């Protein structure tokens, strides 16, 4: 087994890779429930797009990379396009510092990413059939944070197959209606076609949902 001293050395070396990351990409360390360390890669628009995990492999170490998202999510392909060449660059740099490994790769998997997501079911006023979904990302203020929720909710959105939006944190606006300020949300339509995140007043959200609720059975 790899020694604790060697583990610490590898972790320090991994920290030094952060300046080598592509533009806009950041890296932060997270602790998994089992106490292991994983390095999470993040992009301002894509959100969390991949992870790196150092797996003990005898007297050596295996660097494992994992893309974030469902395989059949078209957005996952964009994440792969960023992660794959980046992982090659990181491995090359690590081999220059630590030397090339001689052992064989061992099967390993990372624990799945889990998150509790609050979603509202919008139904037809006549037949009560599901016509839309609103995913609430109450603390999200950036496109990347909305993308994180969209990736985690993709499988469910595909299964239910109705128009689905992710709404971020409610923000104050200068829009006034009936002597009241209209709240604005950073919103992302994620299904059936992923759109760009944009600021959307609550009145516009209502305008999108009302026809689905009112005219489903007509």
Average pLDDT over residues 163-185: 85
pLDDT tens digits, one per residue of 56-100: 766 677 788 999 999 999 999 999 999 999 998 888 877 776 667
- Separation between Cα atoms, residue 158 and residue 190, nearest integer Å: 10
Q: What is the largest CA-CA distance in the chain?
A: 72
* Cα separation, 88 vs 129, whole angstroms: 48
DSSP output for 47-83: EEEEEEEEEEETTEEEEEEEE-S-TT-HHHHHHHHHH
What is the pLDDT averaged over residues 15-19? 53
| Residue 36 CB neighbours (<10 A) | 13
pLDDT of residue 33: 72
Of the chain, the end-to-end C-alpha distance in Å amounts to 67
């Amino acid at each position: 087994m790899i020694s604790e001293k060697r583990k610490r050395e590898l972790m320090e070396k991994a920290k030094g890779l952060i300046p080598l990351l592509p533009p806009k990409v950041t890296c932060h360390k997270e602790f998994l429930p089992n106490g292991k360390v994983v390095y999470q890669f993040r992009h301002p628009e894509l959100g969390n797009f991949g992870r790196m995990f150092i797996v003990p492999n005898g007297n050596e170490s295996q660097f494992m990379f994992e893309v974030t998202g469902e395989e059949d999510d078209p957005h996952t392909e964009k994440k792969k396009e960023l992660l794959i060449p980046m992982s090659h660059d990181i491995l090359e740099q690590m081999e220059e510092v630590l030397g090339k490994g001689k052992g064989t790769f061992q099967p390993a998997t990372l624990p799945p990413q889990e998150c509790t997501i609050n979603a509202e079911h919008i139904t037809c006023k006549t037949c009560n059939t599901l016509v839309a979904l609103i995913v609430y990302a109450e603390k999200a203020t950036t496109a990347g944070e909305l993308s994180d929720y969209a990736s985690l909710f993709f499988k469910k959105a595909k299964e239910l197959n109705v128009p689905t939006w992710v709404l971020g944190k409610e923000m104050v606006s200068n829009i006034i209606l009936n002597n009241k300020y209209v709240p604005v949300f950073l919103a992302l339509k994620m299904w059936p076609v992923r759109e760009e995140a944009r600021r959307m007043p609550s009145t516009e959200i209502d305008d999108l949902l009302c026809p689905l609720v009112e005219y489903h059975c007509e």
